[in-house]
């Protein structure tokens, strides 16, 4: 069940040896046997497998995967190309277009961001079909907190985009050399409370350019 590239495996090996993770694996084996679970097992660690630890430029923290068929692909906010773009991602793209004065691709597959160094990390990496938060508090949060902690303590600066109070709860484990940008969640329920107009994407790219890094093509 741990299909993860060597660099990340080495960084997280200590977590994989802990009781909580062994219990999580037992739980997942049972769940994948009995129910429709998303994403597929080989995509659980997609976010990490797309971005080597030392290549991360930006971290976007989500909660749990989409829970309807054909949506989840192991990257927060992302859906496969042929799938209708979910409302939160529609709002993200709307803010990008206004902030950067560009036109986004009408494609919800964010592998194009991940391949540039954007870590699209949900804090819970699996979900039961049709049941949001069904794998909450089963152990994933321990592992993903460790991932955020590792990146947050990395010497080379990173941009953290923390949308919503849950994502913002991780701000206290992020070291001061990083840029932490906070806004309400892009969900239709909260985007109008300050996500629209936050200009996170231009601020992110300005920070990266000041570091001598290539900015992210958010289109």
Beta pairing, strands 37-38 & 127-128: antiparallel
CA–CA dist 196, 94 (Å, integer): 8
Strands (E), the chain: 37-38, 58-62, 118-122, 127-128, 159-163, 179-183
Dihedrals φ, ψ of 35, to 5°? -130, 170
Q: Which residues are catalytic?
A: 64
Q: Which residues contact 206 (CB under 8 A, 6 or more apart)?
A: none
CA–CA dist 23, 138 (Å, integer): 8
CA–CA dist 186, 137 (Å, integer): 24
CA–CA dist 172, 21 (Å, integer): 24
């Amino acid at each position: 069940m741990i299909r993860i590239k060597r660099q990340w495996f080495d960084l997280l090996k200590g977590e994989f040896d802990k009781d909580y993770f062994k219990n999580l694996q037992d739980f997942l084996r049972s769940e994948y046997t009995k129910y429709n679970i998303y994403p597929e097992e080989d995509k659980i660690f997609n976010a990490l497998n797309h971005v080597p630890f030392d290549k991360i430029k930006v971290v976007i923290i989500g909660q749990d995967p989409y829970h309807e068929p054909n949506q989840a692909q192991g990257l927060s906010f992302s859906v496969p190309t042929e799938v209708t773009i979910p409302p939160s991602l529609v709002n993200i793209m709307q803010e990008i277009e206004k902030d950067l004065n560009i036109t986004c691709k009408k494609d919800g597959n964010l592998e194009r961001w991940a391949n540039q160094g954007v870590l699209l990390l949900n804090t819970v990496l699996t979900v039961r079909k049709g049941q949001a938060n069904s794998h909450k508090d089963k152990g994933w949060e321990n592992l993903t907190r460790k991932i955020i902690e590792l990146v947050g303590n990395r010497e080379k600066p990173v941009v953290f985009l923390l949308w919503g109070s849950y994502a913002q709860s991780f701000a206290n484990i992020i070291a001061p050399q990083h840029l932490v940008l906070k806004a309400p969640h892009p969900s239709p329920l909260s985007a109008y409370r300050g996500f629209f107009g936050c200009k996170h994407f231009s601020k992110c790219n300005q920070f990266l350019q000041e570091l001598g890094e290539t900015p992210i093509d958010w289109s």
